[in-house]
Amino acid sequence: MHDAMANTPETSQTPLRLAVLGTGLMGQPMARRLCAAGHRVHVWNRTRAKAEPLAAFGATVHATPAQAVRDADIVLSLLENGPVVGHVLFELAAAQAMRSAALFMDMASIGPREAREHAARLQEMGLAHLDAPVSGGTVGAEAGTLAIMVGGRTQDFLRAQPVFSSLGRATHVGSHGAGQIAKLANQMIVGITIGAVAEALLFAAKGGADMARVREAIGGGFAESRILQLHGQRMVERDFAPRGRMAVQLKDLRNALATAREIGFDAPITAVLDALYAQGVEHGLGELDHSGLFVELARRNALQ
C-alpha cells in the first residue's frame, strides 16, 4: 500500500496531459489545483458554462468529452453516477477517443459492480482503469486534503501519483471496485453519524438544554468527531448551504444497501438512515447539505 499527500500544488517536473470530465462542485476546484501544479488540463462539462471559468486558470475547455480526452495521459471523471459515466465513456465515445494505454480514473461515487464492469470494458479496449472516489467535500477539494480511496492495479496507482499529490492523500485499498467499497463504507459512517449528531442535538434542545453549549460540552469526549464539529456547527447555525447534498447522501446509502445485498451483508443501521434521508428528500430537502437531515428530524419532533 502506498500513500501520498500534498496540501499545496507544486509545479510538476514532468507535466501530464490531463482531462477532467465533470466540473461541478468537486471537479471545479480539483481542476484548478491540477492547473496550478503545472499540468496541461483539458476539461468538459455537460453544461459548458460551468467549465468556462477554468480557462482563466489555464485549462482548455472542450465541447465534447471525446475532444477533451483525445491526447490525455490520465482522464479524471467526476460525473454524477455510474450510468452517466457509462454513457459518457461508451455512448459519447470518450473511451474510443482515448490514447492507447491511457488511464481512466473515476473519482466520483458509483457502484462497485459498475466500476468493475467499466474496468473490464476499458481493459478490452487497451485502456487502464482506477476507481478513486474521494472524501472531504468541497473544502478538501479546495485545500488539496481529500482522502482518496483507490481500487485497481498497483502499477496504475503508482502512475497516478502526480495527480494524487495535488489533490490529497491516496490509499490503494484493493482491486477494481475496492475504492468504491471503501467510499461506501465512508458514506455509511458519514450518513449514520450525521443522523446521530442531529438527533442528539435536537434531543438536547427538546429537553431544555442549549444546543450550541451541548455541542461544545461533549466535544473532546468519546462523542467527539469531525461530523460533530463541522456538521454539528452547521446544525447549530442552521447553515444548510450544500457542500454535500442530501440527495447525493441518499444515493450513496442506496448504493451501499444494493452492494450489501449483492455480497450477502445485513446493514440494518444503514437501512434506517436510508429511510430517514429518503423522507427528507421527499419533503423537498434534497438540495440542502446532508447535515440538513437535522431539518427532517426537527420536523418530526415539531421543532423549528
Active site residue 206: no
65 contacts: CB under 8 Å, gap ≥ 6: 19, 21, 44, 88, 92, 93, 94, 97
Query: Which grid coordinates are listed for 136?
Result: 472531504
CA pair distance 26, 198, nearest whole angstrom: 25
CA pair distance 109, 101, nearest whole angstrom: 24
205 contacts: CB under 8 Å, gap ≥ 6: 211, 303
- Closest alpha carbon to 75 in 51, 44, 50: 44
Backbone angles phi, psi at 133, to 5 degrees: -65, 160
Query: Which grid coordinates are listed for 72?
Result: 490525455
- Annotated active-site residue in 50, 183, 206, 251: 183
> If residue 173 lies in a helix (H) or strand (E), which one and from where to where?
strand 168-174
| Catalytic residue list | 183
